[in-house]
Chains A and B, each alone.
Chain A
Amino acid sequence: MRLRPLALLLLCAGLRVAAAQDAPATSEAAPGAWTAAEVLGAPRGVALSGATLDAETKRVGSLLRCPVCQGLSIADSPADTAVNMLRQVREMLAAGYTEQQVVAYFEHSYGAFVRLEPAMNGINWTLWLAPFAAVVVGGLVIVAFLRRSRGAAPAGSHEDASSTALPADPQLAEYVRRVRALAAAKQGERREETRKP
């Protein structure tokens, strides 16, 4: 059984040399849809054809996981199983089944694993809402942070080094000038240290 993972990997990544096989014409129309009718009931949508059918097949196919591959959708995978499944998707869409019905059909036999887009129910809501919750929480944190830092420092004491204005009071200004001179000298010393990598 340990063979399975590697075999499945190569089954998907590898492409079999095969004589081009045509699906033999069956006497019944769309047997895939026939099996689907047992599971799903009647089609609830509009029968598609032509370019719309192609596009829709591709789109719905990209929602379904190729069961023998690692993560690819049936629209992207060259594996035979995926090709068969995609053909079935096309037939069901042509018969008028909706996207929900098609996905439900595969989920019926393969389980939730085959859905690349998680269903929006029950525990999955945690997944779908998590990013939005994260944005909201993060936004609140930022707002709180900005508000806190505004409250913490009284106005006027937050000069940064590029501001060169001196306070109006001459005595205070003298002190500030002296402190700045001292700081600049200290910075000169540190320059030597920070120059090295």
Chain B
Amino acid sequence: MNRKVFVIGLIVALPLVALLFASLSRDPTRIESPLIGRPAPAFRLAPLDGGAPLTLDSLRGRVIVLNFWATWCVPCVEEHAALAQAAQQFGRETAFLGVVYEDSAPEVRTFLGRSGAAYPMVMDEGGRTAIAYGVYGVPETFFISADGVIVDKHVGPLTPERLSQLIARAKARAGGGRS
């Protein structure tokens, strides 16, 4: 019985196989955001229909639902209704903001003309805000607490239940550290 082979096998081959077994449940496209629990990056975005730029500071004091979307993205279109409904439901204490990602204003206006706009929409020129928030694709929605900390990031389309759940979570974090 050759000891060396055993040792090499134990050190190299079997750990590799074990690692692969452990990784079977891994979804390589699911990337965790490092911004969770950190202050939300500031932004300054021009509204779709003109007017003064909207900044993060101007929305402070309320929970913010920041939704990155585009008209060419099918799941975004699907969740639009849920977001509109939630905006109507929670609109007093919660600020909803739609950030248009890699799209053109005319297309967005056409879409909103058909589906209605329940909350302000802003254009992210040059994609800078998307980059600041670490957006990988759309739809992605950030839930920011009243004191400006990102509490959650939801990747993919939202359902009404999940929306209320996440808004409640953001509200629950009132000032104070979350660590």
Contacts and interface: CB of A to CB of B under 8 A. Distances in A.
18 contacts: A1-B75, A1-B156, A5-B29, A19-B104, A32-B128, A32-B131, A39-B41, A68-B137, A80-B127, A87-B126, A88-B128, A88-B131, A107-B34, A108-B35, A109-B41, A110-B34, A111-B34, A112-B34
A3 interface: yes
Interface of A: 1, 3-5, 7-8, 11, 18-19, 21, 23-24, 26, 31-32, 35, 38-39, 67-68, 80-81, 84-85, 87-88, 106-113
Main secondary structure of the interface of B (DSSP, over half): loop
Interface residues of B, number: 30
Main secondary structure of the interface of A (DSSP, over half): helix
A32 B29 contact: no
Given A8-B29, A38-B41, A39-B41, A109 B136 contact: no
A85 B135 CA distance: 11
Contacts, number: 86
B63 interface: no
B32 interface: yes
B31 A111 contact: yes
A24 B125 contact: yes
Nearest to B34: A111
Nearest 6 Cβ contacts at the A-B interface: A84-B127, A109-B134, A110-B134, A111-B34, A67-B136, A80-B102
A35 B45 CA distance: 12
A35 B42 CA distance: 7
Nearest to A87: B126
B48 interface: no
Interface in B11-68: 29, 31-35, 41-44
Contacts of A5: 29
Nearest to B106: A19
B172 interface: no
Interface in B128-179: 128, 130-137, 155-157
Nearest to A30: B128
* Residue from the set B34, B126, B130 with the largest chain A CB neighbour count within 10 Å: B126
Contacts of B10: none
B75 A111 contact: no
Contacts of B104: 18-19, 21
Contacts of A87: 126
Nearest to A83: B127
A23 B131 contact: no
A112 B32 CA distance: 10
A109 B35 contact: yes
A69 to B, nearest CB: 10
